[in-house]
Each structure stands twice: as structure tokens, then as C-alpha cells.
Structure 1
Amino acid sequence: MLLFLSMPLVSSAQGFILPKDKKFQKLKFELINNLIILPVEINGSKLRFVLDSGVSKPILFNLSDQDSVQINNVSEVTIKGLGDGEPMQALSSKGNAFKLGKAKNYNQDLYVVLDREINFSTSLGIPVHGILGYDLFRDFVVEINYSARSIKLHNPDSYEYVPHKKTQVLPLAVHARKAYITGMVLMRDDKNVPVKLLVDTGSSDALWLFNQPEKGLEIPELNYEDYLGRGLSGDIFGKRSKISGVKLGDYELKDTKVAFPYRESFGFLKDFGDRNGSIGGEILRRFNIVFDYSRGKVSLRKNGNFKAPFQYNLAGIELQHNGLRYIAESLANSNGVVIDDDSSFGNVQILLENKTRLSLVPEIVVSAIRAGSPAAEAGLREGDVILAVNGKRIYNYKLQEVLKMLNEKEGKRVRVLIERYNRDLLFTFVLKKVF
């Protein structure tokens, strides 16, 4: 990792702007585990950031030994995010040049976290260097087309609303650099409870609710304890369950996946105020959305994902990349060294005597396993190296594709070949409905 520190760039620009002759900037994004991954250039370095509407300032992390980034005007700070860990030391930096296509900000503040434990790349399967949110939503009307996997950053002064009978425009409340939407949750006991939800594009989950029995928000009787994700300050755990549905305007999503995070994961918040939870990517991706912070509006139009069933971890396994490993394969004939850069973690192939190919491929391991799940009952353990699923060698697939193989459908028998202490072991289990 090379991190160059310097004085701030001299510029009078404030916030993100577009060239005068450009009404919007269109960008393609990658959608991985319901998260939007955008190409971002910082002081000339090309990086990948998660679009996270729940973050107030960009945060740079996961700088590898190959990354070289200049940051400007640095001081030390302490920051705290979601998770059960302690606050962490970070660098605060001012006067940085951010570019997303033609959208530019020459005076952007950011935080830099140097803790290598803060690394979302291992669970997403591609290098990701940080999170970016409020500053983009503040300066543009942000149109997200989840169907086409594209985003448009509109100049608010020239953006015009075009009425459409299939589009609903709802109020969006913006407080303290965060946006909130109101809706209704339909609990399993037939109670309809009005809720105020943080809009969180940086969450891959569907819906988080706080356990607030006094407000009608109580954990359903059918639930299980689970790992909910990783925040800046550590792991987040809670209870997973299902409710009858959630309503946003006239749109109703039925049999909705829900999680109730434990209170300790929000230790930095003394009071939730009138907030009841958050809405994340697994619900948001069912719409094409226009966020207009300046006017306090959000436009929703359902897309082809709207009726897709909510995804549960039927196997009970969490996976992550864990460095690289060599594999050997027999070949007919070829020679030389091939370097295949697929913008993932890389794949170096060495051919020996035209007979054997040694390939350096990502190693995928079990990072967590749910107690009582089919995988746990079959005997799989945390730390097992996944070699094959249903006879398919997993090094030919991306991380999210492997997870899909393991959670395809209820009743499917899954065969998993793993390596444990230099021994290959085969496990089989049947995927069971969680609720």
C-alpha cells in the first residue's frame, strides 16, 4: 500500500458539479449482493466504492499493497460505525479530487481507515476500496435503474419530473445527512404499524426493524439468531424472521424478510428518536428509483425484480475469499505463462511441460455457519475450504455464484467437497425452508 500525503489542491469548487453543457452523468455499476459498486477516481487513482446512502462522508479502506493513493491535508480522528467493536482511529483528509465520469468535486473531504480488518472485498468477491453516499445525493438528483444496472447523476437545476401512472412520488425526509422514508409494516399478528425507515443503499439486507414492543414492533415467535453483516466497528448480529409484508405508498411487498439487530450494534446512538429501522438493497432493487434530496422526494417504479421471492440462507453458510491457492490440472498441449485479468482477484496460470497447468486462484472458505442449519448438522465447520459444489469446481465461479449454488431452492440436495487439515471431505445436506 502506498499512501501519499500532501497539502490540499487549490480550488474554489464546492461539492460535485457537472460541466455546464451536461445535464446528467450516466454510469454503469456492478450489483453484487444487492450492493451498488461504482467506479470512483480519487486524486487520479481508479478505485471501486459502494454507494451507501447511510454514510455521511466518503470512507476509504482496504488499500492493498498494490494500491497507490494520494490524500490531502491529513489529521487524526476517531470514528465509530455499526458493529459491536470499539471506536477506531482514522485519518481525516480535506481537499481531495473525486471524479465519477464527468461529475467532479475538487474539494472533497474523506476519512481513511487503515485497519486491514475493515475489508468488504472478501465477502463481495471483488476489490472494493470504500463507501460514498451523502455528498452525491446532496449534489445531484440520483436516478438508479437497478434493472439496467445504471445510475444517472442529474443536475438538480435542470431536472424535470415527468408524470407517469406507474410511478409513485413519496416524501423523503433528510436529517443529519441521512434520508428517511415512511411506510407501513404488516406484522404476523395482523397489526399494521407505521414506520420511519433509514434509506440504506449500503445494506444488502431487506428490512431491519428495531425491537420496540411498545410501538407494535416485536420479534415474531418464529425466528433464529444470525450474523447480519459487518459494520465499520465490527460484526452485527441479531434475529432473523419474516413478517406479512411492508408497504411503501401503494406498493406492497408480501412475506417480507426482516432482521432485528441487537441494540449493542448501535452503541454510538444514544436514542433512535422516531426512527424504527432501515430499508436496504434487497427491497430497493425491486424498484427503479429517483432520489431528490433537494426537494425532499423519492420516486418509485417497480421493476422486474418486484415479485422475486426474498432470499434466505437455506444452507446456513457464509463464505469469503481467503487469499489465493494453487490448483493443478492436466492439459493436452500448450505452453508459456498466461495472465488472465478478469478485474477480480486475478488468475495466474503456469504451464509445465505441456502436460500440467498450475493455476493461482482465489481460495473460498466458510467464514461463518449458523447453528442448527443443514450445513452445520452435516458437519461443515468455519474455516473449511470449499473445493466443489455439486461436482462443479468452484474456482471457475465468482463468490456470489457459489453462494447461489449453495442456496438454490428448498428441498435440493447439495454435495460440498471441502479441504480440512489437508484432507478432502465430502458432505451432503438438503436445503430446508427457514420458516
Structure 2
Amino acid sequence: MIKPRLLYIIFLLFFAFESFGQVPGFFMEEEQNRVEMQFISNNNLIILPASINGGPKLNFLIDTGVKSNLLFSKTIGDQLDLFYSRKINLMGADGKTVLSASISPNNEIQMDGVVGRVQALLVLDEDFVELERVVGIPIHGVIGHEFFKLNPVRVDYDNNILTFFRENRFRRKPFGYKRMKMTLENGKPYVTSIIRQSPGPTLQAKLLIDTGANHGLLLNQETSEEIVLPERTLESDLGTSLGGDLTGEVGRVRKLTVGRLRFNDIITSYPDETQFSDIIIETGRLGSLGSDVLSRALIIYDYPQERLYYKRGRAYRQPFEFDMSGLTIRMPMIAEKRFFIEQIRSDSPAERSGFKVGDEIVAVNGIPVEFWNLPDVTELLRSRDGRRVKVEVHRIIKDAKVNLVKDLRLERQI
């Protein structure tokens, strides 16, 4: 599939930082009511530039779905001269791969007008670059619970603005917003929703709010016997994460109600059971809400009061769509803007059009890839049933590079 894989980052270890006489958290650098920061929106993920201990700006994913801050590259950590207190081992998302990491306590993370003090970082010993190959821009790490825990934060997907408010800013409901109860468990936010399946019973579901995943709705079948697969599904790779990819099926849920927000025909992921299923079951959640749903609203996360405020965004009524080509496209290296076909879904328009794994895409609709961003190509290939897209590829045949032009007709398969 060409739609970038869902970005799950699963951390089962929440390390303790050392106390240095200062409250850990993120704070405004000056006394004011709010600080607005422009974020990069890529596949509806929130990517914010930040520096560590006065170093160069790096791109961090702002992720409500994790508790710990993470740096993907020990190479960068060493260049920043980080202090490491100890090493640990992490189990990868596939339940088999073991990842080693170093803990760096007491760092300062600087943003525009906001600073994170006494911040611990989990630094991977082997550089993790898979997210870059999927989203098409460098992602150096993740900032999680610490960013939200002391102050309300508004995410405006319409204008790509993240607003950091002063503490206790919302004693009353802000004008135009609705209020919803949110619970925090182990640093992660949860809401209750109503899910109308077809087939299957209506579910009252506890869901994790996960801004770091670009799915719409995800349901873990092992958490409830009442979760029923839709009649039409596609087998798919669902996500790339630390230490392994997630696989499963994709279908549609008839209706999702969260507060007074109502969504119809939501693309829904059903991951295969993993080694971590027992831990997911223990949380009591049935799944998670990702950015394909969250980006359709303006949301204020108020962790201290365990509530959120929301109102409809510009994308509220847009239909949910899945990849209609059957292509999975990756960028091997960010430094070189080259798009390669990594996978082709069976019985898909791409397979019928004669694409091959390893083909290099050099132009789309006559426009060279130098003028495309990977998310824009992704959006095009899930845009409209029946749309025709011309894709020019280079293919190696008997050690010779052959130029081919493929006529791809998009097809809604779920």
C-alpha cells in the first residue's frame, strides 16, 4: 500500500529519571497566557522542531500515545555530548527483536517560547530511520507525556499551529468548544466512544488517544469477543515501529461517536495478535484513535484537569479513504529524493498494471519526483475511485535500465 504505514511506537518500559531539585516538565520561557508554535503536518502527524541542550534543531513527533521521550539516533546523541547513566534492553514491537538503548537524564529541550527542563531521553543505540523512509522527512525522535502533563495544549490541524497555554488557563469552557471527560493512565489519555459495527454489536469502547499514529480507528480483536471484522477487508502491513512491523487487516466501521463528534464509514485497522496483546488487554482499552480522526477537529488537551475540549475542523466531513493503488512506496535515503516500490498488494490495480517491486518512480502525471513530496503522492493515490494516474518508472532488466510508463486506474477496494 502507498499510504504510509501507521506509526506505532510501543514502549513498555517507563524509566525513572533522577531528581535534580527541579520539577520536570515543559514551561513557557516568559510569563504570558500562551505560546503559539508552527508545526509540520505530515500525514496529519504533529512534527515540531526542537533542540536539545542548545544543539541544532531536530524534528520531533509530538505523541500522546507514549510516556517517554525518545531520540532515534545515538550518533546524534554522541554529537550532542549527552551524558548516559545506564543501558537497558527493549523488546521490539514484533515481540522478538531486542533493542538496546541508553538513558540520558536531565536534559533541556528548547522550542520557540517553550522549554522542557529535567527531561530524560531514551536514546537508541542503533539509529532508527524507518519513519523517515515512510513519511519522507527526517524524524529524529518523539516527545510524549512530559509535553502535555502540566499545561493545556491545543492542536489546530487546520492551520498547523500548536498552542501551549499557561497553567489553569481554562477555568471555563472556551467559546465554541464542547467538553469531554478524558482519563489519564500511566501518562496516556483515554476517552470513551460508541462504535457501530457492520456486522457486529454496537460497542462502548475505551480508546487511547494516539496523535503519533496516522490511522483513523484501530481495534484490537483480542480485547473483546464483540469486535467483529467487516465483511470486506484487505490484508495489509499496518505499521512500522521499533523492532518490527505490524500486520493485520483493514476495513470500515459504520459509525464512530466521540462526544458529539460523529464519523461515518471510518477506515479501521485490525492488527494481528502480538506478544503485547496481554498488556493491551490489561489496560481495558479496545483500541485507539489516530490522527486521521483527530485531525478533523480542533482539540485542547487539558491533562491536569483530565478533560479535553473540541470543535469541528475544516476536514470534519471529508470521507475516509484508503490506498486505491496497491503500492507501498519508500524513500531509501532522505538525502536523495528517490521513490522506490517496496511492496505490491495482491490483486490490486498496481499488480494488474504490471508494476514490479524494485521499480523506481521517476515521474507522476508527467511531473518529476523532484517536485513531489511523498505524502502528496500518497494522497493522490487514495484520492478518487476511478481516477487515472500515469506513473513513469525505471526498471532494471538484464543489467539495463528501462524506462516504462504505467497507466494506473485507482480502485476503492474497501
Q: Quick check: TM above 0.5? A: yes
Question: In the superposition, relative to structure 1, how do residues 168 and 129 fare at CA in structure 2: closer, same or farther (>3 Å)?
Answer: same
Structure with higher strand content: 1
Q: TM (normalized to structure 1)? A: 0.84
Q: CA deviation at 1:34?
A: 1.4
Q: Which residue of 1 aligns with 2:217?
A: 207
- SS of 1:271's equivalent? helix
Counterparts of 1:91 and 1:268 in 2: how far apart (Å)? 27
Are positions 1:288 and 2:292 aligned together?
no
Aligned residue runs from structure 1 range 331-350, under 5 A: 345=334
Counterparts of 1:179 and 1:404 in 2: how far apart (Å)? 29
Are positions 1:362 and 2:341 aligned together?
no
Structure of greater Rg? 1
The one of 356, 367, 374 aligned to 1:399: 374
- SS of 1:115's equivalent? coil
Q: Which residue of 1 aligns with 2:80?
A: 69
Q: Is the CA contact (8 Å cut-off) linking 1:57 and 1:110 kept in structure 2?
A: yes
Counterparts of 1:66 and 1:229 in 2: how far apart (Å)? 26
Q: Which residue of 2 aligns with 1:4?
A: none
Counterparts of 2:377 and 2:149 in 1: how far apart (Å)? 37
Counterparts of 2:230 and 2:270 in 1: how far apart (Å)? 10
Q: Note the residue ranges of structure 1 that are not aligned, 5 or more in a row.
A: 1-7, 324-344, 347-360
Question: In the superposition, relative to structure 1, how do residues 67 and 415 fare at CA in structure 2: closer, same or farther (>3 Å)?
Answer: farther
Counterparts of 1:365 and 1:90 in 2: how far apart (Å)? 30
Q: Which residue of 1 aligns with 2:412?
A: 433
Higher relative contact order (CA 8 A, sep 6+): 2
Counterparts of 1:11 and 1:427 in 2: how far apart (Å)? 63
Q: Which residue of 2 aligns with 1:104?
A: 115
Q: Is the CA contact (8 Å cut-off) linking 1:62 and 1:119 kept in structure 2?
A: no
Q: Which residue of 2 aligns with 1:137?
A: 148
Q: CA deviation at 1:405?
A: 3.1
Are positions 1:58 and 2:69 aligned together?
yes
Q: Is the CA contact (8 Å cut-off) linking 2:77 and 2:123 kept in structure 1?
A: no
Q: CA deviation at 1:19?
A: 3.7
Q: Is the CA contact (8 Å cut-off) linking 2:331 and 2:338 kept in structure 1?
A: yes
Q: Which residue of 2 aligns with 1:275?
A: 285
Q: Which amino acid aligns with 1:301?
A: K
- SS of 1:55's equivalent? coil
Q: Which residue of 1 aligns with 2:6?
A: none
Question: In the superposition, relative to structure 1, how do residues 108 and 133 fare at CA in structure 2: closer, same or farther (>3 Å)?
Answer: same
Counterparts of 2:274 and 2:227 in 1: how far apart (Å)? 18
Deviations 1:22-62 (A, max 9, x none): 23221000110110100111111211101111111111014
Q: Which residue of 2 aligns with 1:312?
A: 322
Counterparts of 1:146 and 1:275 in 2: how far apart (Å)? 26
Q: Which residue of 2 aligns with 1:349?
A: none
Q: Is the CA contact (8 Å cut-off) linking 1:237 and 1:265 kept in structure 2?
A: no
Q: Which residue of 2 aligns with 1:188?
A: 198
Deviations 1:182-210 (A, max 9, x none): 00011013732110000000001100001
Q: Which amino acid aligns with 1:411?
A: G
Q: Is the CA contact (8 Å cut-off) linking 1:385 and 1:418 kept in structure 2?
A: yes
Q: TM (normalized to structure 2)? A: 0.88
Are positions 1:156 and 2:178 aligned together?
no
Q: Which amino acid aligns with 2:179?
A: V
Deviations 1:333-375 (A, max 9, x none): xxxxxxxxxxxx56xxxxxxxxxxxxxx511111222222111
Q: Which residue of 2 aligns with 1:354?
A: none
Counterparts of 2:66 and 2:149 in 1: how far apart (Å)? 12
Q: Is the CA contact (8 Å cut-off) linking 2:217 and 2:267 kept in structure 1?
A: yes
- SS of 2:149's equivalent? helix
Q: CA deviation at 1:302?
A: 0.6
Are positions 1:225 and 2:235 aligned together?
yes
- SS of 1:409's equivalent? coil
Q: Which residue of 2 aligns with 1:147?
A: 158
- SS of 1:21's equivalent? coil
The farther-off stretch of 189-198 and 272-281 is 189-198
Q: Is the CA contact (8 Å cut-off) linking 2:196 and 2:202 kept in structure 1?
A: yes
Counterparts of 1:268 and 1:69 in 2: how far apart (Å)? 38
Counterparts of 2:163 and 2:393 in 1: how far apart (Å)? 43
Counterparts of 2:227 and 2:301 in 1: how far apart (Å)? 27
Aligned residues: 392
Question: In the superposition, relative to structure 1, how do residues 270 and 117 fare at CA in structure 2: closer, same or farther (>3 Å)?
Answer: same
Q: Note the residue ranges of structure 2 that are not aligned, 5 or more in a row.
A: 1-17
Q: Which residue of 2 aligns with 1:327?
A: none
Q: Percent identity?
A: 25
